[in-house]
Amino acid sequence: MKRTFYPTFAVLAFCLMFIVPAWAQDARVKVQPVVKEITPTIWDIQLPAQNTLKGYLGDRYTENLKNRLLKIDEAGLLDGFTHRPGKHRWIGEHVGKYLEAAANTWEITKDEALKKQMDRIANTLVSTQLPDGYLGTYLPENYWTSWDVWSHKYNLVGLLAYYRVSGDRKFYDAAVKIGNLLCRTFGDNPGQKDIIKAGSHVGMAATSVIDPMVDLYRWTGDKKYLDFCHYIISAYNHQGGPAIINSLLTHKQVNKVANGKAYEMLSNLVGVIKLYRVTGEPELFTASKIAFDDIANKRLFVSGTTSDHERFKDDFELSADTAAHMGEGCVTTTWVQFGMQMFAATGDMKYFNEVEKSVYNHLLAAENPSTGCVSYYTPLVGVKPYRCHITCCLSSVPRGISLIPYLNYGHLRNKPTVFFYESADIEDHILVDNQQMRLGLKIQSKFPQAGVADILVDVPKPASFAIQLRVPMWATAFKATVNGKAYSGIADDVVNISRTWKAGDKIAVTFNIPVHVLPGGKSYPNEIAIKRGPQLLAFDDSLNKGEGSSYMVSKTPILVNQGKLPADWVGSQVYQLSVTTKNGVKSQLTLVPYSDASQTGAGSTVWIPASVDAR
């Protein structure tokens, strides 16, 4: 069911303008969870002290701030709380999603307007919490029905994110009150409710609260929240429950679990893998791995998303036009979150590769870079239906984009590692000889137009440590050179450069960005797609006047980096692909990244009617 409501133009209360946060504008608040994962953390999902993204990803990240987050309908987000009951059953999910995206973005940008907006919204939300901890949008006679637990889930997500960046205990306490209320309300003891009966989609909407409840346990150390997460795992097997773990272990297919609802199931799985990381219970990891592999191998579109009419379909059924309602934005964001958790737990690059695919393609494609409007379902074939009224996806897609600074740089096996070769200014603190030392990395890059990047190293004094460089799975001829010494790398691995670093050292990175022809598979047997590095390319109707035919394409196509884009087009990448029409006429198709296509309202397609010339 599509969860949508249109903006209300009611104004926020006058006093809202005068709420002042308890934390300083430029303070970097250091609050950390008190419980560490007991399984090894191979990749830390942590932000460095500074990570200013530039280039392609940086531009899209900035557009997400300016055109989406700063233009949200504040009154619309809060109306269900300030004027209960909410106009829609799911109206309560949006404010928590906003707070998570805003907190992640403010931590990077320190944008003053975002900070003021975030403060107003967080304070107003908490002011509506009832003494018993209830922070939903329902009246008492309808508590814990439909989407009520779901909304509390996202309030937990948002409050903990806001507390992480503000350090203000008021929001920590509000999250604790929600957690305590959930623990009192649901369980197997006399007088408690069955959580399976409190949510839609075979209970999965309600049980997905396992995700922030694991986080609440980590932030507080209170074992009752961990016990509640185990209660949810057992509740999966209640009568009428989704049996998520048992079904995955038995059938090994996500489309055989419950009703196959993708967003709600993935939301549970993010919580399941988090629970594994704090308990080490092997069946939780096994079920998570089965789910991830099944989706990636059989149910994932070439753009890095999944779902058809919001559900997992049968093997390799990947219809990608507007009628298929494919690639729900909430699903894309949650798939990225799931991949991040799997990579953190294992260090297996296959998980990061899928995250990269999603970010460069379907995630960015779901938000119009010109307007900040979001496509609820983002087709590979057809017009992307961008809208600016509040929907679950309008709230979710910005959350996904706000995660990008976690991805371009981080610590892999306790070593500073560059993952994306886009321009960025990074400042981190690393451990050298058991002492904290500042590390600066300034990445000056031509990517994604070209595989060339210089990484300038800045340290306060000469020091011996390793810097790692990820070699993308799609890259060829990867080479890094430092002071005349060359380091080669193989795809899908890392280059480890261990040496004594001094201020001014430069790592010169070069690699080829190959172009691949992707077959259309079961759903598009007579069509092909073109992929360049991590980016899927698209044929935009507005850039290809008069074209419309079937083509022959070389098995080793060459893209020419040239072409004219409209003056108001956001993005600079445009390529010419040489083709031969069915009549033998040589021609050129103009292609742009799928993530940029359809931004002017024209139709676009990733799947091009063509065959491959095997000669």
Q: Which pLDDT tens digit goes with each residue over 404-462?
A: 999 999 999 999 999 999 999 999 999 999 999 999 999 999 999 999 999 999 999 99
Phi/psi region, residue 507 (left: phi>0; alpha: psi -120 to 50; beta: rest), is: beta
Mean pLDDT score, 358-370 = 97
pTM (2 d.p.): 0.94
CA angle 183, 185, 190 (to 5 degrees): 105
CA dihedral 405, 409, 413, 414 (to 10 degrees): -90
Check residue 29 and give its pLDDT.
Answer: 57
pLDDT number for residue 613 = 85
Average pLDDT over residues 86-105: 96
pLDDT at 548: 66
pLDDT at 61 over 60: yes
Residue type for 474, please?
W
CA–CA separation, 87 and 316 (whole Å): 38
Helix, strand or coil for residue 18? helix
Q: What's the CATH fold of domain 14-26+51-407?
A: Glycosyltransferase (1.50.10)
- Residues 351 and 52: their CA atoms lie apart, in Å, by 24
Domain with CATH 2.60.40 in the chain: 415-512
- Three-state secondary structure call for residue 142: helix
What pLDDT sits at residue 547?
A: 63
The enclosing H or E element of 155 equals helix 148-166
- Specify burial of residue 510 (Cβ count, 10 A radius: 0-12, 13-18, 19+): middle
Asked whether residue 22 carries a pLDDT value surpassing 60, the answer given is: no
For the chain, where do the domains classified as CATH 1.50.10.20 start and end?
A: 14-26+51-407
Q: Which CATH class is domain 415-512?
A: mainly beta
98 pLDDT exceeds 80?
Answer: yes
Q: 246 near 236, Cβ under 8 Å?
A: yes
Q: Is the pLDDT of residue 598 over 90?
A: yes
